[in-house]
Amino acid sequence: MNESNPNQAALRIIPREAHCISRKQISSGALRVLYRLNEAGYAAYLVGGAVRDLLIGGQPKDFDVATDATPEDVRRLFRNCRLIGRRFRLAHVVFGPEIVEVATFRGNGGDDIDTDGDRQVVDGRIVRDNVWGTIEEDALRRDFTANALYYDIADFSVRDYVGGYDDVQRRVLRLIGDPLQRYREDPVRMLRAVRLSAKLGFSISPEARAPFTDLGVLLTQAPPARLFDESLKMFLAGNGLKSFRALEQFGLLGAVFPLTARALAFRGGETFRAVVEAGLAGTDARVSEDKSVTPAFLFAVLLWGAVRAQAEREIARGVESNVAWQRVSHQVIAEQAKHVAIPRRFGQVMQEIWTLQPRFADRQKKKVFRLLAHPRFRGAYDFLLLRAAEGDDIAELGRWWTRAQSTPHETLAEELSTAPSSALAPAGDAPKKRRRRRRRPSAQASAATDSQ
């Protein structure tokens, strides 16, 4: 249909008995939407990531439906439906906590990019688009063949227009169409390739991988809001460490997190890497335990190398410690936000986490209690623990504050007023330039804490 889609294949229908997707694995909400659309005479398919995930025995995150019904048609069929999207109207059908996204087939390169109105291509990028299409067109505008499979509720078969079924069996991500063109249209597809390969354990086909070297730089022009969303999917969805390593391996880290890439390459980079990897592994563990995770903490980790190095430099130049930390925190966030949006509320938390770090080294009684009572203490303390890789002194500080929290208030107060501050100080303090007054290496310090 389109010369720019050379790998377009003829329609292949995989009948129910030849594939493993069972209705039992589909959410009740999605099934209801599929059946009701079908009964009303519309085509109704489960599509995208859900079909892919079910074919490899995974648990889909959400179930998306594609149909030839327009959003208005969908709204007429479902009372629990709202239409969203400026660009492409989409229907959200709501069943309690479950939201089923219902999209009308899109044609002519119609895309998930934030667009509005009729299609327009500027410098090869789609900037405006609003064309409904056929199911085949809908398949061809998707990114990877594995993401372009349609599960048909009418006969439970899977429809494959692009060779996606075999690619899923081979565990490979292959772009639909000409890779250069598809990445130019939407550079975020490069990140999606890397993220999905990390998440699914799929390889990226050589043709889909080859353009990264030349086109990776296009990600520096991608809308920061989209890169924020994509970063959350990469780092806060349970596969953060794998995604991070894949980003580095494929040479795309620098285009999205340039400050992180630079800090990893500089002196002290290996230590910083250990902190980043510990942060990502900890986040992945929390996600797998269904605990809450915040982008602020993880972004604080990713940018810590840059913040710390720049603060040390300023302090060495004679800038007062507090001023240096505040200023540098602000600068680093502003710099990173040019690439990946950092909503203000997260930026604030990141600044607090960073600027509290030097305060852990100060063991004056009043300051210890003030820090323990700080609303951001917990996050800053968790962050301090991650930094253990930076050296024995930091690891020791972490142990001291762990103990301080479990020590009864009065006991701690007593210790802090009787012991000379220097005796309570850990065997070091970092960053070095920041230290003030009373910090002296002390063997007694560790003896004092360890014996408790």
Catalytic residues: 62, 64, 143
In the complex with ligand ATP, the residue whose CB is nearer, 164 or 398, is 164
Are the C-beta atoms of 194 and 209 separated by less than 8 Å?
A: no
Euclidean distance between CA atoms 349 and 226, whole angstroms: 21
Residue whose CB is nearest to ligand ATP in the complex, by number: 49
Q: Give the x/- contact pattern for ligand ATP in 217-256, rule: CB under 6 A.
A: ----------------x-----------------------
49 sits near Mg ion (criterion: CB under 5 A): yes
Binding mask 59-78 for ligand ATP (x = CB under 6 A): --x--x--------------
Q: Which residues pair with 125 in a beta bridge?
A: 122
Tell me: does residue 111 bind ligand ATP (CB under 6 A). yes
Binding partner selected for residue 129 from Mg ion, ligand ATP, none, CB under the kind-specific 5 to 8 Å limit: none
Per the CB < 8 A criterion, the answer to whether 312 and 295 are in contact is: no
- Rounded CA-CA distance 113/128 in Å is 9
Least distance to ligand ATP, CB of residue 11, Å: 17
Tell me the closest approach of the beta carbon of residue 185 to ligand ATP, in angstroms: 8
Which residue, 209 or 363, has its beta carbon nearer to ligand ATP? 209
Structural tokens at position 173: 């991500």
Contacts by 273-280, CB closer than 8 A, 24 or more apart: 274/389, 275/301, 275/304, 275/305, 275/386, 275/387, 275/389, 275/390, 276/244, 276/301, 276/302, 276/304, 276/305, 277/241, 277/244, 278/386, 278/388, 278/389, 279/386, 280/235, 280/240, 280/241, 280/244
Closest separation in Å from C-beta 431 to Mg ion: 42
Nearer to Mg ion, 143 or 160 (CB): 143
Min CB(95)–Mg ion separation in Å? 17
Number of alpha helices (DSSP H) and beta strands (DSSP E) in the chain: 23, 12
Binding-residue total with ligand ATP (CB under 6 A): 15
Q: Is 133 in the site for Mg ion (CB under 5 A)?
A: no
Compute the chain's Rg from CA coordinates: 26
Say which entry of ligand ATP, Mg ion, none residue 186 contacts (CB below 5 to 8 A, set by partner kind): ligand ATP
Does residue 49 bind ligand ATP (CB under 6 A)? yes
Residue closer to Mg ion (CB basis): 48 or 240: 48
Q: Considering only residues 325-344, where is the footprint of ligand ATP by CB under 6 A?
A: none
- Given the rule CB under 6 A, which of 130-138, 181-189, 296-304, 345-353 is the region that contacts ligand ATP? 181-189
CB-nearer residue toward ligand ATP: 147 or 197: 147
Select 49 or 107, whichever has its Cβ closest to ligand ATP: 49
Q: How far apart are CA 77 and CA 83, in angstroms?
A: 13
Among 19, 37, 44, 48, binds ligand ATP (CB under 6 A): 48
Closest contact distance (angstroms) between CB of 139 and ligand ATP is 9
Instruction: Please report whether residue 208 would count as binding ligand ATP according to CB under 6 A.
Output: no
387 binds, among Mg ion, ligand ATP, none (CB under 5 to 8 A by kind): none
* 11-19, 45-53, 263-271, 283-291 -> range binding Mg ion (CB under 5 A): 45-53
The site partner of 111 among Mg ion, ligand ATP, none (C-beta below 5 to 8 Å per kind) is ligand ATP
CB of 409 to Mg ion, least distance (A): 49
| Tokens, residue 84 | 């969203």
Residue 326: CB partners within 8 Å, gap ≥ 6? 351, 355
Q: At 95, which helix (H) or strand (E)?
A: strand 90-95
Strand 98-104 relative to strand 64-67: parallel, antiparallel, unpaired?
Answer: parallel
Choose one: 35-43, 186-194, 268-276, 326-334; the region binding ligand ATP (CB under 6 A). Answer: 186-194
Question: What are the angstrom distances between the C-alpha of 254 and each of 16, 220, 281, 292, 369?
Answer: 45, 9, 21, 28, 40
Q: Smallest gap, in angstroms, from Cβ of residue 73 to Mg ion?
A: 23
The residues, any chain, with a CB within 8 Å of residue 267's CB and separated by 6 or more, are none
* 177: contact with Mg ion by CB under 5 A: no
By CB under 6 A, the residues from 129 to 168 that bind ligand ATP are 142-143, 147-148
Which of Mg ion, ligand ATP, none sits in contact with 179, Cβ below 5 to 8 A by type?
none
**Cα distances (angstroms) measured from residue 211 to each of 95, 121, 181, 243, 353:** 42, 20, 10, 19, 38
Here the tokens at position 35 are 């059946």
In angstroms, give the least distance from the CB of 50 to ligand ATP: 7
**264: its two tokens:** 């990893």
Question: How many C-alpha atoms does 274 have within 13 Å on its Cβ side?
Answer: 10
Q: In sequence order, what are the residues at sequence separation of 6 or more whose Cβ sits closer than 8 angstroms to the Cβ of residue 218? A: 183, 184, 187, 190, 255
The burial class, CB within 10 Å (0-12 / 13-18 / 19+), for 334 is exposed
Q: Return residues touching Mg ion (CB under 5 A).
A: 49
Q: Return residues touching ligand ATP (CB under 6 A).
A: 48-49, 61, 64, 111-112, 142-143, 147-148, 186, 188-189, 192, 233
